[in-house]
Structure 1
Amino acid sequence: MTVEEHEDKVIVSLDSDPSTSVTILKYGATVVSWKLRGKEQLWVSSAAKLDGSKPVRGGIPLVFPNFGKTKDESHATAALPQHGFARNSTWEFLGQTTQSPLTVQFALSPDEANSDIYKLWGDGTNDFTLIYSIGLSDTLHTQIEVENTGKQAFDFHWLFHTYFKVEDIEDIIVNNLTEEKCYDQLLQSWYTEKAPMVNFNEEFDRIYKDIPEEKVLQIIDKGYVLQNLRRSGLPDAVVWNPWIKKSEGMADFEPKSGYLNMLCVECGNVTDFVKLEPGKAWTGSQTFQVGGEILVQSNIFA
């Protein structure tokens, strides 16, 4: 097992198959590459900033303590910019923790957090520790533990903002979301998903709420399962593709045709805030696995 620490990143690869690897930037603890037997599984914009000057467009950015921009102006996260400060902060690399699966950890606390942004969260009075674990085998496992190390409760969102690489978005479907409650951010309304399979031929931005944990979300390309997404402690999923117009409006989204080759399926807890009392901890995790059979866990004939 190989763990290489560089000044700005950590590269983890398997001794049994060095072409299976994961690369994590220290800035944002952002996974910017996951290769399985040499094949890249994640999409990263060719214009993404990898020098710590801004959050990475692509890979797996980490969203904490707020998803989007908080609309309730009285909430402690209201002054924070979109998606909080975890992706804007340089995390501490803690090293390797287990051999099988090969796992490394990163940590973030107020000492490492981007001070200009962190102080906007409850006037910088919330004390916390984030422990982020990335486990590599024939799967990729990511887990976050949020601990309240202070004397007052705080609210937070968590989201793994994953960009998957696909060959052609118009050939892609996502299954097992039928009959789930969702908020369409384009229509700004709640409804129940009725499509037997979610497909993509225009801008798509929906938040699916309280998906049963036993459901495996699958990204499928012409009958082949690209990804199986299994979740623990993460009841919500954001499904997003910017399509043509929005891609053109994002300076760090390149090539502009890149929307054809990416799909975000993001596991998290974002429709409601998690309230964490002093001394308590919360954990959420996800596991990605390539291939296997198509699982139909929704009543697609409803």
Structure 2
Amino acid sequence: MVGRATRPTALASTPGLAPQPQVQFSDDNARVSAVLPTGESLEILLYGATVISWKDKNGDEKLWLSDAAKLDGSKAVRGGIPLVFPVFGTAPDHAATAKLPQHGFARTSRWEFLGKSTSESAPGQAADLSVKLDFGLSSPSLDSETQAKWPYSFNLIYSVTLSRESLTTSLVVTNDDDKPFDCQVLLHTYLRVKLTNPSTPQKDIANVEITGLSSASYVDKVDGATTKTQSSALTITGETDRVYTPSTPPSDPVTVLEGGKTAFTVVRDNLSNVVVWNPWTDKAAGMADFAPKDGFKNMLCVEPGAVGTWQTLEPGDAFEGAQTIGIGY
């Protein structure tokens, strides 16, 4: 299991091969990190299998992590990429998940590291190198209280793949029970918005627009959960909490532009929704683990998921969803 004393402190490349990705564990086995030979890096907590850092070759951080985020396993991490399963938000009218905490239990459970795999590259050709880290969570590993609240037998495999210009996260949900269950899945990604104008930092988020959602219907949770249609590029000018159902295929990217230049592209695989969230002033002020309080100026959540309806899995069935986040230079 995850905490076994014999776990190696590092998984190194084989001597004689071209430079390979390096994977290491923290001394307390609480987190896993990976670094490509070209400098890109990744860090993941086993608590929640939460990606807490993703840096490009220049060492620039691509994810926003609250300065007050709890990284000790005491509560869900504010920032990075928390995993939402088996319920998005709360669902008091859905009997099977009514007793679960907000966003379910995947982000607050201890996951098992299952191993790494790397792409092969010819000597001197590191451009196509990547590393994939796999994590697992299943019903027997949940505490008794959580099992009582959601008494289904399941298996989750979460894979995080770091390449030179992208990060891919995918989740496979398998129903190991003898009865069907409903679930929702979301990749709650906090993207970091750059300080494009340090002299007027209050305008940073105003330099951002999101394209790829035009003509999409969305539920505006800030405006009484009314259903609306996006008519043009989206800009953030206040508290934003929207669940989009894009009219375009998942392979068509949602693009985050900073000052008119591409900062991120988000491509979905089998995930029909995109949540866009920014807490703005008042909500950020009310969250104890959100810091600095003006950090909403430097973050934007673009969250692929399957949350518009319930995914019903029959015994033995599986659901898989993924996102690939590309970065612009």
Common fold, TM-score beyond 0.5? yes
Q: Is the 8 A contact 1:230 1:288 kept in 2?
A: yes
- Cα distance, 1:114 vs. partner? 4.2
* Counterpart for residue 150 of structure 1: 177
- CA-based RMSD: 1.2
Q: Which amino acid aligns with 2:222?
A: L
Q: Which amino acid aligns with 2:54?
A: W
1:12 aligns with 2:41: no
* Counterpart for residue 321 of structure 2: 284
Q: How does 1:249-264 map to 2 (within 5 A)?
A: 249-264=286-301
1:134 aligns with 2:160: yes
- Cα distance, 1:115 vs. partner? 3.6
- Cα distance, 1:170 vs. partner? 1.3
- Cα distance, 1:161 vs. partner? 0.2
> TM-score of the superposition, structure 1-length normalised?
0.92
* Counterpart for residue 240 of structure 1: 277
* Counterpart for residue 216 of structure 2: 180
Tell me which of 102, 110, 115 is aligned to 1:90: 110
Q: Provide the C-alpha distance between the structure 1 equivalents of 2:191 and 2:145, rounded to a whole number of angstroms.
A: 31
The percent of aligned pairs where both chains have the same amino acid is 44
SS at match of 2:104: coil
- Whichever of the two has the greater Rg, that structure is 2
Q: Is the 8 A contact 1:86 1:113 kept in 2?
A: no
Q: Provide the C-alpha distance between the structure 2 equivalents of 1:86 and 1:129, rounded to a whole number of angstroms.
A: 11
Q: Which amino acid aligns with 1:35?
A: K
* Counterpart for residue 24 of structure 1: 44
* Counterpart for residue 187 of structure 2: 160
Q: Is the 8 A contact 2:36 2:130 kept in 1?
A: no
- Cα distance, 1:191 vs. partner? 1.5
* Counterpart for residue 102 of structure 1: 131
- Cα distance, 1:169 vs. partner? 1.1
Q: Provide the C-alpha distance between the structure 1 equivalents of 2:250 and 2:144, rounded to a whole number of angstroms.
A: 35
Q: Is the 8 A contact 1:179 1:193 kept in 2?
A: yes
SS at match of 1:23: strand
- Cα distance, 1:70 vs. partner? 0.3
SS at match of 1:119: helix
* Counterpart for residue 88 of structure 2: 67
> TM-score of the superposition, structure 2-length normalised?
0.84
1:111 aligns with 2:107: no
- Cα distance, 1:268 vs. partner? 0.5
Q: Provide the C-alpha distance between the structure 1 equivalents of 2:218 and 2:304, rounded to a whole number of angstroms.
A: 14
Tell me which of 54, 63, 71 is aligned to 1:50: 71
* Counterpart for residue 120 of structure 1: 149
Q: Provide the C-alpha distance between the structure 1 equivalents of 2:45 and 2:72, rounded to a whole number of angstroms.
A: 9
With 196-205 and 96-105 compared, the bigger mean Cα shift is at: 96-105
Q: Provide the C-alpha distance between the structure 2 equivalents of 1:287 and 1:114, rounded to a whole number of angstroms.
A: 32
Q: Provide the C-alpha distance between the structure 1 equivalents of 2:144 and 2:290, rounded to a whole number of angstroms.
A: 27
Q: Which amino acid aligns with 2:31?
A: K
- Cα distance, 1:210 vs. partner? 4.8
SS at match of 2:322: strand
Q: Provide the C-alpha distance between the structure 2 equivalents of 1:205 and 1:141, rounded to a whole number of angstroms.
A: 24
Q: Provide the C-alpha distance between the structure 2 equivalents of 1:142 and 1:214, rounded to a whole number of angstroms.
A: 15
Q: Provide the C-alpha distance between the structure 2 equivalents of 1:242 and 1:115, rounded to a whole number of angstroms.
A: 34
Q: Provide the C-alpha distance between the structure 2 equivalents of 1:224 and 1:64, rounded to a whole number of angstroms.
A: 33
Residues 159-193 of structure 1 show CA distances to partners (whole Å, capped at 9, x for unaligned) of 00000000221110000111101000011201111
Q: Which amino acid aligns with 2:243?
A: I
Q: Is the 8 A contact 1:227 1:288 kept in 2?
A: yes
* Counterpart for residue 199 of structure 1: 235
Which runs of 5 or more structure 2 residues have no equivalent in the other structure?
1-20, 120-128, 195-203
Which runs of 5 or more structure 1 residues have no equivalent in the other structure?
293-302
Q: Is the 8 A contact 1:30 1:61 kept in 2?
A: yes
